[in-house]
Amino acid sequence: MSSDLKWFKSSYSGDQQGACVEVAAGVHSVHVRDSKDTDRPSLSLSPAAWGAFLDQVK
């Protein structure tokens, strides 16, 4: 499943200390993963949950 997704690195992720987050939009969910270890499972969120998260971190 996640191999079919188009991943985007967060614009807030930097190269310092390997803090990189990638996000991909699926048909019914938003996926979040650590770009340092893409073999690990991603976190899947509903679009509503992802939107609520973004509202809180703004």
Q: Quick check: helix, strand or coil at residue 13? A: coil
* Per-residue pLDDT tens digits of the chain, which is 58 residues long: 456 899 998 777 666 666 688 999 988 999 999 888 888 998 999 999 999 999 998 8
Helix/strand number for the chain, H first, E second? 1, 4
Assess contact for 13 and 21: CB atoms under 8 A. yes
Count Cα neighbours of 6 within 13 Å in the Cβ-side half-sphere.
1
Domain extent at residue 46: 2-57
Instruction: Count structural domains, the chain.
Output: 1
Name the pTM for this structure: 0.76
d(CA 47, CA 25): 9
